Structure 1
Amino acid sequence: MDKATLLADLETARQRTRALITSLPQATLNVPYHPGVNPPLWEMGHATFFYEVFVLNWLDRSPSYNPAMDDLWDSFHVAHRDRWCRELFPGREETLAYFDAIYDRVADRIRRQPLTDDDLYLYRYAIFHQNMHIESLIWCRQTVGYPPTPDVTDERAAPGDRVDGDAEIPAGRWLIGMPGESEHYATSDFAFDNEKPRFEVELASFAISRVPVSNREFLAFVEDGGYQRPELWSFGGRKWLQAESDVESDVALVHGSPEPVLHKPQHPLYWRWHDGQWQERVYDSWQPLTPDAPVCHATYWEAEAWCHWAGRRLPTEYEWEVAALGNRPGEPFRRFPWGNEPVAPEHADMGGRAMARNPVWDFPAGDSRFGCRQMIGSVWEWTSSQFFPYDGFRIDMYPFMSTLQFGDHKVTRGGSCATSPNLIRGTYRQAYLAQRNDVYTGFRTCALRTTP
């Protein structure tokens, strides 16, 4: 990677972050505490602080922009609820001034200093970290009900012909993950620590759906009483249903109901039955449910219950990666389902534009070698795998990128409509708690294995 490309990536992240903040009316920046998301100004300040600490302070030992603010932008020093205390933090103009000052310094350093491998790694790490928070800013808008982001479009990009059924994946030996540090971590094959080191795995043959589960397919489960049938839900799923009922009960009591109201979830988070039709909230407006779009904002427990209802199962993360990339030992390595060409609009629904509203059979140019579609973009796809390190795992320069999630999170794969295109690749592993449904999560399924 050369300096021009690096500076372009930095500037793109800068402009997208700026637009996500400045497009919000001032009044929306002062909403009360909301669990599960961070307030937009804190997201911006935190991403800026990351550049300051892991680029400028680390490489140059430069002093902080404002030492009095360091603890407030540091996610390990300020509690989640406290991030919503507006009196603790500067306002928008002061935060934007901090943001611009640090970005100018980083860009200037890239131009002036030699681009060593170590420096390149830190620059890219910080840029990718910021792109993670760009996705967080987008799902914050959805969660809180803010207006749409500036990039949203109603245009149906990359339409495709309808496909369905399963792709048959042969048994064999496959490559999983990205190279370890011994294979040079600063190359174009950048990866986070949880994707490394690459290894081989032997898998039996399996059949995986060519497209994600659609709203239409999930609606059939809803209308068949799926949420009221305990035999479809695992112990963890039933615990989640009860926990959601308890939340509803607490809300009812706060609003003056004389007794707890037990109301288990009946459908995905942002759905409702209204005026004789199913609707879905997209940002701050209710719209008719798009039947052939991928089901979105589904928890792991809902995906698992749907599989029990449909006689299917979730793929393991190794099966998912093989279906997406199909990398075999001794063959040229593929970073994306379509090869090694960077993500383009015809490949995937990404970058906060279509927001998972396209039919599941769109974006045919993004097909994998086995004919699986939308494995990159649209929705993060749940797998059945727990998030654990690969054998030979080594912590990267940021020690908390992965370690805090090992063991109690599930693995999702593929990125979403809100993910930045330059962040994703087929080996990327995202860890979410099984109950998460504020992020753009969906799923595809496998046929149940049969014994010979």
Structure 2
Amino acid sequence: MVTADQGRAELRAHAHDALTRARTRTLALSDCVEDAELTAQHSPLMSPLVWDMAHIGNQEEQWLLRAVGGEAPLRPEIDSLYDAFEHPRAERPALPLLPPDEARSYLAKVRGHAFRVLERAELAGRPLEADGFAFGMIAQHEQQHAETMLITHQLRRGPAALSAPPPPAPPDGSGPLSSEVLVPAGPFTMGTDDDPWALDNERPAHRREVPAFCIDTVPVSNAAYLRFVENGGYADRRWWSAAGWDHVRRNGLRAPLFWRREHGGWWRRRFGVREPVPEAAPVMHVSWYEADAYARWAGRRLPTEAEWEKAARHDPGTGRDLRFPWGEAEPGADRANLGQRHLGPAPVGAYPQGASPLGVRQLMGDVWEWTSSDFAAYPGFTAFPYREYSEVFFGPSYKVLRGGCFGTDPVVARATFRNWDHPVRRQIFAGFRTARTPAPEEAA
């Protein structure tokens, strides 16, 4: 039997590891370029990398040092500079930001205090401290910003600054894949009350009755999406919502972001490298409008958020709802493409060991997947520990994405985690899979 002291020691070690892994990644994404690249704004859609660095430290100071540790502020004068709601991304380069060396020093100083707070924390009692929630929240926050920094690296011009081995191909002998699976009608538990580091928008767990539906076994590939492009999909009003068609016309969209047609073929730019579009990989850098249009063209639709989560978590054979598609074990390199181990998604059909009980693959990692659903509160939602994490974004302006991508860390990757963004966004590492409502005789 694990004693209370042993349990706290294990929780401290888990939090320490999550925080350390996040910081290692933050520094790797900032140390690989010159300081001038850190202070530049590579796109008005993104902050300068140096803003993300100090913002990460400021959030850690506010929540771990001040809120949990009760310590006096280290740098209260910079709180407003690094308030994401006070200063839009496009305006941040004009702010008196900490220069790179000072930002690094600030990160290190805050982290030293945070580890001391962790060592003396009870990790019980008040909700912010129970089960190490605040430490998990900050580790997840840093990893989410590391992913936005990775997006900035994709948007920056110039020679490649990052490298990683290619993702694995589907193993030989992994078996033929059907194009879709039928998910039977019935209830499942959506959201969670059990995961101690789950964020407020994942709570509370609640029962959902979901009619039968069919969902793609794998994400839509570049090859499949290319057929839509070359079939004139971007020029055909029939496939687009009114808002989507207006967006396509006003911005002259013809293909996914970073794609170019050259010398009789399609090429893309990926982290400073120019390469042919890999047809076997999931399509990426498409907006919700593009995903929705493709699905209509294919005679299908995007899955709802509830359908996506049921396909990813529910085991019809046992009636259980799992933490991950494959079960309860933490994500490993054999189950999902996560944690920036690679710099792109694996070919469709990879990671058979990460499949759901119904045989749906690549639900975690590779590409974020657009759903048809607006970002909304679950029944009984309570904002915690602050409204600005989720509640202020609820509404029809944001669409839900699920599953994580190759740049998502495992501390964030769980089948209940919810991401959201505007339907026009294309710089994010987003793709999709499609679904359909089966005929009554199919669902019987």
Residues 196-229 of structure 1: CA deviation (Å, up to 9, x unaligned): 1111111221111100000000000000010010
| 2:121 equivalent among 94, 107, 113 | 113
Percent identity at matched positions? Answer: 32
**SS of equivalent residue, structure 1 residue 318:** helix
Q: TM-score, normalised by structure 1?
A: 0.89
Match of 1:384 among 353, 360, 372: 372
List runs of 5+ in structure 2 lacking aligned partners.
1-9
Q: Does 1:344 align with 2:332?
A: yes
Within-5 A mapping of 1:321-336: 321-326=309-314, 331-336=319-324
Aligned partner of 2:91 among 71, 82, 88 = 82
Q: Which residue of 2 aligns with 1:140?
A: 152
Distance of aligned partners of 1:329 and 1:366 in 2 relative to their CA distance in 1, 3 Å threshold: closer
Asked if the contact 1:307–1:445 (Cα under 8 Å) also holds between the matched residues in 2, the reply is yes
**2:73 aligned with 1:59, yes or no?**
no
Find 1:229's aligned residue among 215, 225, 236: 236
CA distance in 2, matches of 1:329, 1:62: 51
Q: Distance in 2 between matches of 1:366 and 1:170?
A: 21
Q: Classify 1:96/1:434 alpha carbon distance in 2 versus 1 (closer, same or farther; 3 Å).
A: same
* Equivalent residues of 1:33, 1:81 under 8 A apart: no
Amino acid at match of 2:380: G
List aligned pairs for 1:37-56, cutoff 5 A.
Answer: 37-56=46-65
CA contact (8 A) 1:149 1:352 kept: no
CA distance in structure 1 between the partners assigned to 2:161 and 2:363 by the alignment: 24
Instruction: Give the partner amino acid of 2:120.
Output: R
Determine the C-alpha separation between the residues in 2 that align with 1:414 and 1:31.
31
Specify whether residues 54 and 11 from structure 1 end up closer, same or farther in structure 2 by C-alpha distance, changes over 3 A only.
same
Amino acid at match of 2:406: C
Q: 1:42 to 1:301 in 2, by over 3 A?
A: same
Q: 1-side partners of 2:440 and 2:253: how far apart?
A: 36
3-state SS of paired residue (1:35): coil
Mapped to 2, the partners of 1:11 and 1:440 lie a distance apart of 24
Q: Which residue of 2 aligns with 1:165?
A: 179
Which 4+ stretches in 1 moved above 3 angstroms? 145-151, 157-162, 327-333, 448-452
Tell me the secondary structure at the aligned position of residue 313 of structure 1: coil
Q: Does structure 2 retain, via aligned residues, the 8 Å contact 1:296–1:441? A: yes
Q: Hey, what does 1:26 align to over in structure 2? A: 35
What is the alpha-carbon distance in structure 1 between the residues aligned to residue 228 and residue 56 of structure 2? Answer: 40
Cα shift readout 1:32-55 (whole Å, capped 9, x = no counterpart): 462211111111111110111111
Aligned 8 A contact 1:356 1:378 in 2? yes
Q: 1:330 to 1:177 in 2, by over 3 A?
A: farther
Q: Provide the secondary structure at the position in 1 that maps to 2:411.
A: helix
Instruction: Report the CA distance between 1:329 and its aligned residue.
Output: 12
- One-letter amino acid of the counterpart of residue 195, structure 1: E
Counterparts of 1:110 and 1:59, CA distance in 2: 9
Displacement of 1:148 after TM fit?
4.9
Q: Which residue is 1:178 aligned to?
A: 192
Q: Which position in structure 1 is the counterpart of 2:411?
A: 422
CA distance in 2, matches of 1:188, 1:449: 33
After TM superposition, give the deviation of residue 323 of structure 1 in Å. 0.7
Q: Could you tell me which runs of 5 or more consecutive residues in structure 1 were left unpaired when the two chains were aligned.
A: 180-186, 245-263
Cα pair 1:173 1:329 within 8 Å, conserved = no
Distance 1:29 1:193 in 2: 32
CA distance in 2, matches of 1:360, 1:97: 42
Q: Is it true that 1:14 corresponds to 2:23 in the alignment? A: yes
State whether structure 2 residue 425 is matched by structure 1 residue 436.
Answer: yes
**Residue 361 of structure 1: how far off its partner (Å):** 0.6
Q: Which residue of structure 1 aligns with residue 101 of structure 2? A: 93
Q: Which one of 198, 201, 207 corresponds to residue 194 of structure 1?
A: 201
Residues 127-178 of structure 1: per-residue CA shift (max 9 Å, x gap): 1111110111111111224655646222526646452411111111111111
Give how far 1:332 is off: 4.4
Encode CA deviations 1:276-297: one digit per residue, 9 max, x unaligned.
2211110112111100100001
DSSP 3-state at the match of 1:312: coil
Is the CA contact (8 Å cut-off) linking 1:210 and 1:372 kept in structure 2? yes
Mapped partners of 1:158, 1:341: distance in 2? 21
Question: Alignment RMSD, CA only?
Answer: 2.0
Q: Equivalents in 1 of 2:306, 2:317: separation in Å?
A: 15
User: How many correspondences in the alignment?
Assistant: 425
Q: Secondary structure at the match of 1:201?
A: strand
* Matching residue of 1:69: 78
What letter is aligned with 2:73? S
More off after superposition, 327-336 vs 96-105: 327-336
Q: What amino acid sits opposite 1:194 in the alignment? A: N
- Distance change (3 Å), C-alpha of 1:157 and 1:107: farther
1:327 is displaced (CA, Å) by 5.4
Distance 1:40 1:403 in 2: 26
